[in-house]
Amino acid sequence: MKYIHFIPYVNRPDLTILALNSIPNLWENTLLVDNSDNGNLAEEIGPHFDFGFTVVRPPVPLTTAQTYNWMRFIAIDQKTDFITFMHNDCEVITKDGDNLLLDAAASSFSDETQKIGWVHQDANENEDLFCAYKTEMLADVGDWDWLCCPFYFLDIDYMKRVRRNGWTIQRTPGIMCKHHSDASSTIKSSKLRGLINPYYFSVSDNLINIKWNKLGGDWSNL
């Protein structure tokens, strides 16, 4: 099956190196999206690897939702069967966990008895920490909500829309990951982002509640 593995990056090259070292079987299909301030990810991590993956720098740094939507566009444009994804502060700690995710995606997405469109690691939270999305599902559900959820709650919003469209999200037993810094490593590693973040969070929290609690998840009700 044809797939691309995406890792978005803003900062913490040290954690990105850990992430990459934990998924060597995906390197050949890995695309790192460099959303850093200075665009020097390749130089930061290059000395640590004999490159088997690709680093792409967008024309401008993208928000979280824009990054996801660019991934979606590439998946559909390149006619992949699915894409895999991980946070750059995620480390797969299960031996051969990268192949386990590929096997789970290939098996689940080809199962015609169930409409499975999203598989993720063995956890109750962080469904996008290390996961796979079926391209057919991405085309059906549409873009991540870049207006309401540029940074926060976009996974929750998308999950609701995925289920509303009749797709199933499946947990994959046996794949465990470590989320470094107890998550939000990007924000915790930047004083400026730490200062700005509470305001984004508050606005996003209000918007997601308006969207789903007052409008039933559909902005067209306005």
The predicted-structure confidence for 122-162, as pLDDT tens digits, reads as follows 766 668 899 999 999 999 999 999 999 999 899 999 999 99
Reply yes or no on whether the pLDDT at 220 is more than 90: no
Which helix (H) or strand (E) element contains residue 53? none
Q: What integer pLDDT is reported at residue 67 of this predicted model?
A: 97
Strand partners of residue 9: 34
Chain centroid to CA 57: how far? 17
CB-neighbour burial class of residue 216 (10 A; exposed 0-12, middle 13-18, buried 19+): exposed
Q: What integer pLDDT is reported at residue 51 of this predicted model?
A: 67
CB-neighbour burial class of residue 76 (10 A; exposed 0-12, middle 13-18, buried 19+): middle
Give this prediction's pTM.
Answer: 0.93
- Is the separation of the CB atoms in 145 and 157 below 8 Å? yes
In angstroms, rounded to a whole number, what is the distance separating the alpha carbons of residues 44 and 99? 27
Sign, CA dihedral 40-135-220-163, equals negative
Least confident of 84-88, 144-148, 171-175: 171-175
> What type of residue sits at position 75?
A
Considering only the C-alpha atoms of the chain, give the largest distance between any 2 of them, rounded to a whole number of Å: 52
Reply yes or no on whether the pLDDT at 194 is more than 70: yes
Q: What is the pLDDT of residues 21-76, one digit of tens each?
A: 999 999 999 999 999 988 888 888 877 777 678 899 999 999 999 999 999 999 99
User: CA neighbours within 13 Å on the CB side: how many for 209?
Assistant: 6
Joined tokens for residue 62: 């993208």
In angstroms, rounded to a whole number, what is the distance separating the alpha carbons of residues 104 and 127? 15
Chain centroid to CA 32: how far? 11
Q: What integer pLDDT is reported at residue 192 of this predicted model?
A: 85
In angstroms, rounded to a whole number, what is the distance separating the alpha carbons of residues 167 and 156? 14
Q: What is the pLDDT of residues 97-130, one digit of tens each?
A: 999 999 999 999 998 888 999 999 876 666 889 9
Reply yes or no on whether the pLDDT at 216 is more than 80: yes
Joined tokens for residue 161: 């829309």
Strand partners of residue 154: none
